[in-house]
Amino acid sequence: MAISGMHCVSCGLNIEKQLKRAAGVVSASVNYAAGKAYVEYDPTVVSLKAIEKIIEDAGYTVVTPAERPPGAAEGAPLEDAAAVARVKEMTDLKIRFLTATALSVPLLFFSMGMHSGLVRLHWPDITVALIQMALTTGIIIAGYSFYVRGIFAVIKTKAANMDTLIALGTGAAYIYSIFVMVAIARGVAGYSADDLYFEVAGFLLVFIMLGKWLEARATGKTSAALRLLMNLAPKTAVVVRDGRELAIPLGDVIVGDIVIVKPGQRVPVGGIITGGASSIDESMVTGESVPVEKKPGDEVIDGTINKTGAFTFKATRVGKDTAIARIVKLVEEAQLSRAPIQALADRISAIFVPSVAALAIIVFIAWFIAGQGFVFSLTVAITVLIIACPCSLGLATPTAVMVSTGMAARNGILIKSAQAIQTAEAVDIIVFDKTGTLTIGRPVVTDIMINDNLDERHVICLAASAESMSEHSLSHAMAGFARQKNVALKPVSDFSAIKGKGISARVDGAKLLIGSQDYISGQGVKIPEHFLQKSTQLAGEGKSLVWVAENGALAGLFGVADALKDYAVAVIQRLKQSGIRVLMITGDNLKTALAVASSAGIEEVIAHALPGEKAERIKALRSGGHTVAMVGDGINDAVALATADLGIAIGSGIDIAVESAHIVLIRDDLRDVLSAISLSRYAMKKIRQNLFWAFFYNIIGIPVAAGLLYPFTGFLLNPVLAGAAMAFSSVTVVSNSLLIKRYRSIDKDSR
């Protein structure tokens, strides 16, 4: 559920605490930065309404599905509701800040202006006091939420938060000023308008509201990538019902609906084409910019763009089952998770507010006993209350996680949890599966040698035409090679296959023999020495050999292998340069494995490994104190992926429900392995910077606010400046996390 009104990490922790106390709540996680809560509960014990009431009793507002934008159906991504809550909250904060600012201008005139002598009014002190009180009261009303959640909600929940510190600090200044005003009205000697502290309460609230508004704007940007993902789906769809074309909200499309898509439109839901044909831009899934031709019976993916013809399709994936909804849900769950590095900050935040409140009381008593007087001691106590900022601690990790997971998702990298980011940064060994991971997973023609007196295209045509009649995997490689070379096939007759040896056929009048060396030699075909040397070389590289003879004479030799994927060599090299040890594991024989590993630039190979043995090898590497990542296809390598510290499933497409993987790469692009590791490292760098700043700010700021420098330098921090510093601290952390957006993937330009 989306929650509005949270002003600090303590708010989120308090909501969590209240929810976990409730009977029937299994687990609760609140992300202050995202403005969301994830609650698992037993509906037979506690109702959703009761859960919402717990949150509302704590002083916050739950945004219900009914408040979501048009097109967002029940079960639609939570970000819809969170966006509504965020817009409402930012608008409210802006109005309240501008109102408070308008009131603060005359307050400045009647307080600091008169104190400094810049403004000379010979008005009675009580008149000045009443004007200041009226203006400050207006500002306090504008900042009412700090008092509702800081005082009244705390009485209900018995848990303090950041708003409590603000309410105590500004409230103390306001109440003291009321006391002074009463003394002035009664004519008590020693009290004048110069002793009023109304401006401290007023300006503190103005600065705090400004900081919260800026923080809300910056925090809203952390989920911008997620909103862009959601916007890939159109808000409406055109369906055929009762023979009529109807434009309906996306959330109203049901399984079985016939949907119409015209050129230039995005596919609204997933389904199967029933009529028409087109080319579709599926780059959001595949990363390939070349449109894919689609015809009846082919699958279409929601969010992809129809480039040319119009077509109709039958909806099979709607609502929360669409590709975009599933991706967004996975990213949302990752953003609600906590990284291990966040644990210390959470523990400190949980006790931060009561500790600071206690410190403020101690500081007040200490300075008062030291003879500095009531006003001095009160000023120091207020400054301590205001400068303390658990928000920066609480925002340090979640904001960086939100930005990095959102950015990754937009680039086809689905990071399932914050812990996966921290683990990815620590990886020092990566184990790649061979087939389908490092290699394309199917045989292709890699080498060709043609008899000197023959034309290459002629031999390709003969071999591919004859092989087109066979079901052998090598036959598919020959057919694919012909298509790649734009060679047209010719009719085949007298086709015959000899199991384990080869085939014979007649093409364009020529008698062909295609198969192993033993097969064509046994048919009387002579093989020249330079062909034998070439075959020895290719066999040494682990490649399969296809010999072709035409009319009893050798025509050519083809080398066939499961070729490396694009960028495999470059990716392995970059991983090594970054200090990561790279291994390859496969169930294939050692000779083939060594050949593939050598061409990829991998020195360490584990061959003849069955799925269970792969997991054992991963376990052995981990036992040596290493952080091990396994890269595989998510199906055959499921056990090994689950055993590794970090499982990376590659080329999963829209099938993102790979339970065993911690990171899912939608595209079949090895560069995304690099991107996932490098982005995680950059995100962790930002998290550490954020935590350092948050701790440094509080460790330095609180002692200075408590007057530590005063005995030596005479410097005493003004409470208003403390309020500005507190606001600056949170905004700095969020802004630093937003810099992750500017991070460029290692191979971004080559895409």
Pairing of strands 413-415, 628-632: unpaired
Q: Do residues 404 and 446 both lie within one domain?
A: no
pLDDT at 201: 87
Q: Do residues 497 and 532 both lie within one domain?
A: yes
Q: What are 722's two structure tokens?
A: 């403390």
pLDDT at 67: 44
| Domain final position from 542, 564, 586 | 564
Cα–Cα distance list, 105 to 71, 102, 139, 143, 246 (Å): 44, 6, 11, 16, 56
Is residue 211 one of the residues assigned to a domain?
Answer: yes
Q: Looking at residue 622, which CATH number applies to its domain? A: 3.40.50.1000
Q: How far is CA 20 from the centre of its chain?
A: 27
Q: Looking at residue 532, which CATH number applies to its domain? A: 3.40.1110.10
Q: In this predicted model, which residue has the larger pLDDT, 469 or 190? A: 469
Q: Do residues 347 and 402 both lie within one domain?
A: yes
How many of the other CB atoms lie within 10 Å of CB of 384? Answer: 29
Q: Do residues 273 and 220 both lie within one domain?
A: no
pLDDT at 68: 44
Q: SS3 of 214, please?
A: helix
Range name among 342-351, 516-525, 584-593 with the lowest pLDDT average: 342-351
Degrees (nearest 5) of the Cα angle 263, 268, 274?
70
What span, in angstroms and rounded, lies between the C-alpha atoms of 2 and 33? 11
What span, in angstroms and rounded, lies between the C-alpha atoms of 429 and 431? 7
Residues 523-550 have a mean pLDDT of 90
Q: Indicate the pLDDT class of residue 651, thresholds 50, 70 and 90.
A: confident
Q: Tokens 């959001």 sit at which residue?
A: 284
Q: Looking at residue 243, which CATH number applies to its domain? A: 2.70.150.10
- The answer to whether the Cα torsion of 386, 387, 390, 395 is positive or negative is positive
Convert the pLDDT of each residue in 27-76 to its tens digit: 998 887 778 888 999 999 999 999 999 988 887 888 765 444 434 444 44
pLDDT at residue 254 tops 80 = yes
Q: What percent of the chain has pLDDT over 70?
A: 92
Is residue 475 one of the residues assigned to a domain?
Answer: yes
The closest alpha carbon to 81, from 37, 19, 29, belongs to 37
Degrees (nearest 5) of the Cα angle 742, 743, 749?
105
Residues 107-115 have a mean pLDDT of 79
What span, in angstroms and rounded, lies between the C-alpha atoms of 451 and 40? 71
Q: Do residues 312 and 332 both lie within one domain?
A: no
Convert the pLDDT of each residue in 206-231 to its tens digit: 888 887 787 777 777 777 767 777 77
Helix (H) or strand (E) holding 449: strand 439-450
Q: Indicate the pLDDT class of residue 540, thresholds 50, 70 and 90.
A: confident
Give 571-603 as a 3 state SS string.
HHHHHHHCCCEEEEECCCCHHHHHHHHHHHCCC
Convert the pLDDT of each residue in 475-487 to its tens digit: 888 988 999 899 9
Q: Do residues 572 and 618 both lie within one domain?
A: yes
**Percentages helix, strand, coil for the chain, rounded to the nearest 5?**
55, 20, 30
Residues 301-310 have a mean pLDDT of 90
Query: Which residue stretches of 158-282 are H helix?
Result: 162-186, 198-221, 224-230
Is residue 317 one of the residues assigned to a domain?
Answer: yes
pLDDT at 729: 86
Convert the pLDDT of each residue in 3-16 to its tens digit: 887 876 777 888 88
Number of structural domains (the chain) is 4
Q: What percent of the chain has pLDDT over 90?
A: 45
| Domain final position from 632, 656, 673 | 673
How many CA atoms does the CB half-sphere of 582 hold within 13 Å? 25
Is residue 79 one of the residues assigned to a domain?
Answer: no
pLDDT at 631: 94
Q: Do residues 295 and 394 both lie within one domain?
A: no
* Angle (deg, nearest 10), helices 390-410 and 719-738: 20
Q: Indicate the pLDDT class of residue 605, thresholds 50, 70 and 90.
A: very high
Q: How many residues are recorded in the chain?
A: 751
Q: Indicate the pLDDT class of residue 634, thresholds 50, 70 and 90.
A: low
What span, in angstroms and rounded, lies between the C-alpha atoms of 171 and 164? 10
Is residue 523 one of the residues assigned to a domain?
Answer: yes
Residues 125-149 have a mean pLDDT of 89
Q: In this predicted model, which residue has the larger pLDDT, 82 or 696? A: 696
Is residue 50 one of the residues assigned to a domain?
Answer: no
Q: What are 272's two structure tokens?
A: 């199967």
| Domain final position from 642, 673, 704 | 673
Q: How far is CA 147 from the centre of its chain?
A: 35
Cβ 662 vs Cβ 647: under 8 Å:
yes
Q: Indicate the pLDDT class of residue 654, thresholds 50, 70 and 90.
A: low
Cα–Cα distance list, 182 to 125, 134, 377, 606 (Å): 11, 14, 21, 85
Provide DSSP, 11-31: HHHHHHHHHHHSTTEEEEEEE
Q: Do residues 267 and 349 both lie within one domain?
A: no
Range of the domain at 115: 85-139+157-232+323-412+674-751
Is residue 446 one of the residues assigned to a domain?
Answer: yes
Helix (H) or strand (E) holding 330: helix 323-336
Alpha-carbon Rg of the chain, whole angstroms?
35
**Catalytic residue, candidates 433, 562, 588, 747:** 433
pLDDT at 578: 93
Range name among 225-234, 644-653, 741-750 with the lowest pLDDT average: 741-750
CB-count burial class (<10 Å; 0-12, 13-18, 19+) for 528: exposed
Residues 423-433 have a mean pLDDT of 96
Q: Do residues 376 and 254 both lie within one domain?
A: no
Convert the pLDDT of each residue in 163-184 to its tens digit: 788 888 888 889 999 999 999 9
Q: Do residues 653 and 710 both lie within one domain?
A: no
Q: SS3 of 662, please?
A: coil
pLDDT at residue 360 tops 80 = yes
Q: Tokens 């949302």 sit at which residue?
A: 332
Convert the pLDDT of each residue in 388-420 to its tens digit: 877 788 788 888 998 999 888 888 899 989 999
Degrees (nearest 5) of the Cα angle 11, 12, 13?
95
pLDDT at 70: 39
What span, in angstroms and rounded, lies between the C-alpha atoms of 363 and 263? 71
Whole-number average pLDDT of the chain: 86
Is residue 614 one of the residues assigned to a domain?
Answer: yes
What span, in angstroms and rounded, lies between the C-alpha atoms of 597 and 297? 39
Q: How far is CA 578 from the centre of its chain?
A: 23
- Please indicate whether residue 494 is annotated as part of the active site: no
pLDDT at residue 720 tops 80 = yes
Q: Do residues 181 and 301 both lie within one domain?
A: no
pLDDT at residue 707 tops 90 = yes
End-to-end CA distance of the chain: 37
Q: Do residues 284 and 301 both lie within one domain?
A: yes
